[in-house]
């Protein structure tokens, strides 16, 4: 089957559900009607055939320190090519897409489902979008993206919040324009990997001191015996002047560290950074996959891909040597089917001569 056969006829984005062993496709025009009644089944290709990127370094919880084993690096991709080929801006017309996997009640991640939603595409200085799991399901992991139709707005919009709510039923993503602002239209979108509640599931929160230091970090740690399955981060009172630099689950999957940096102009505001760890009892096949970009002074992306036979639970990222001049604009799966975290970062405002890198982290497990 040709890949175009399973794309939305209007947007070109794979708007679909998995129904048992078949792939059910629904078009944008029919989403307002009964979705199930408009699905047309077609045979599903193996998941591994849908992407061209190979898996990066796989770290089991016994692997040790964050950077000890992950040495796989990818050639950076220019941001215009990334924007056109991967970000899928036509998503703006297709809110609340979802992908459902059929799984037995005894599965380790029963009822696994990925849901997306997107904010308005306009030039408002701040905007948020909240995506909600289907009834009875919980957020296991998160993803976020900023999209600008012309690309220029990327340099003036920061990810401020990637916040799973306390009951783990929804995820909110917020973007802020920086002090310079932009006249370009832009949007934020949120993706949540949801499932039936798994044993021991809870959200752990840690908040930094509130002050005007130029950078700060905080770590949320899972209770003893539990492991990280998902993550989130939030800047409070940064108002576009503070960038999320790291949203990093450690390699042992025991904690999540979030770091914020003031941008080149800084701020006199007192601000905080919050780390969220979504914790649960250990799952079969639970692992962190890490991939590093090349080190250079240009915008770049990198993908961390879950091994065959596992599903993506969560997306995380880390910028090295960006120190407030580099911002994350993408951290999550590029569509409804891929089991990988594509992470992209761009130099903000006037850029930097520093050489820097961006790391992508995927948390994966056996479904």
Residues 6+ positions from 248 with CB-CB distance below 8 Å? 66, 231, 256, 257, 258, 259, 316, 317, 318, 359, 361
CB atoms within 10 A of CB 274: 19
Structural contact between residues 270 and 237, judged by C-beta atoms closer than 8 angstroms = yes
pLDDT of 54: 33
pLDDT of 157: 92
Q: Which of 300, 350, 340 is nearest to 320 (CA)?
A: 300
Tell me what the mean pLDDT of segment 285-297 comes to: 96
Higher pLDDT, 143 or 4: 143
Residues of the chain with pLDDT > 70: what percent? 70
> Per-residue pLDDT for 39 more than 50?
no
The pairing of strands 287-293 and 242-249 is unpaired
Residues 6+ positions from 2 with CB-CB distance below 8 Å? none
Structural contact between residues 157 and 271, judged by C-beta atoms closer than 8 angstroms = no
The pairing of strands 138-148 and 157-164 is unpaired
> Per-residue pLDDT for 19 more than 70?
no
> Per-residue pLDDT for 337 more than 80?
yes
Mean pLDDT of the chain, nearest integer:
78
Give the bridge partners for 271, in sequence order.
Answer: 211
Task: Please give the model's pTM, rounded to 2 decimal places.
Answer: 0.78
User: Which pair of tokens denotes residue 132?
Assistant: 């909600």
Residues 6+ positions from 19 with CB-CB distance below 8 Å? 39, 41, 100, 102
Residues of the chain with pLDDT > 90: what percent? 61
Structural contact between residues 191 and 116, judged by C-beta atoms closer than 8 angstroms = yes
Q: Give 157: exposed, middle or buried? Use CB within 10 Å, 0-12, 13-18, 19+.
A: buried
Higher pLDDT, 149 or 45: 149
User: Which pair of tokens denotes residue 294?
Assistant: 């090349």
Tell me what the mean pLDDT of segment 267-282 comes to: 97
pLDDT tens readout for residues 101-126: 555 555 899 999 999 999 999 999 99
Tell me what the mean pLDDT of segment 26-51 comes to: 28
* 54-96+118-365 CATH, one of 3.30.420.40, 2.60.120.690, 2.70.150.10, 3.40.50.1980: 2.60.120.690
């Amino acid at each position: 089957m040709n890949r175009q056969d399973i794309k939305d006829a209007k947007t070109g984005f794979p708007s679909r559900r998995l129904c048992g062993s078949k792939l059910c496709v629904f078009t944008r025009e029919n989403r307002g009607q009964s979705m199930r009644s408009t699905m047309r089944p077609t045979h599903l290709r193996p998941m591994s055939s849908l992407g061209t990127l190979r898996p990066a370094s796989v770290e089991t919880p016994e692997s040790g320190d964050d950077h000890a084993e992950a040495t796989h690096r990818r050639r950076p991709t220019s941001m215009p090519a990334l924007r056109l080929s991967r970000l899928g801006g036509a998503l703006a017309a297709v809110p609340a897409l979802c992908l459902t996997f059929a799984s037995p009640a005894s599965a380790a991640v029963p009822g696994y489902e990925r849901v997306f939603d997107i904010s308005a595409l306009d030039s408002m200085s701040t905007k948020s979008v909240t995506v909600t799991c289907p009834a009875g399901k919980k957020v296991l992991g998160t993803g976020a993206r900023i999209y600008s139709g012309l690309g220029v707005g990327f340099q003036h919009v920061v990810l401020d919040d990637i916040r799973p709510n306390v009951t783990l039923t929804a995820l909110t993503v917020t973007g802020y324009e920086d002090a310079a602002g932009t006249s370009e239209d832009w949007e934020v979108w949120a993706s949540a990997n949801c499932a039936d509640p798994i044993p021991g599931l809870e959200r752990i929160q840690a908040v930094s001191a509130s002050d005007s230091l130029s950078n700060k970090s905080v770590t949320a740690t899972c209770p003893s015996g539990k492991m990280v399955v998902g993550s989130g981060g939030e800047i409070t009172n940064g108002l576009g002047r503070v960038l999320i630099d790291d949203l990093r689950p450690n390699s042992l999957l025991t904690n999540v560290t979030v770091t914020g940096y003031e941008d080149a102009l800084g701020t006199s505001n007192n601000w905080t950074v919050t780390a969220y760890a979504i914790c649960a009892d250990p799952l079969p096949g639970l692992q962190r996959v890490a991939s590093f970009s090349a080190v250079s002074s240009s915008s770049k992306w990198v993908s961390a891909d879950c091994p065959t036979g596992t599903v993506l639970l969560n997306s995380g990222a880390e910028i090295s040597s960006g120190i407030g001049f580099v911002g994350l604009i993408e951290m999550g799966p590029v569509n409804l089917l891929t089991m990988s975290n594509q992470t992209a970062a761009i130099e903000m405002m006037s850029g930097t001569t520093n050489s820097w890198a961006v790391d992508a982290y995927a948390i994966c497990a056996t479904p």
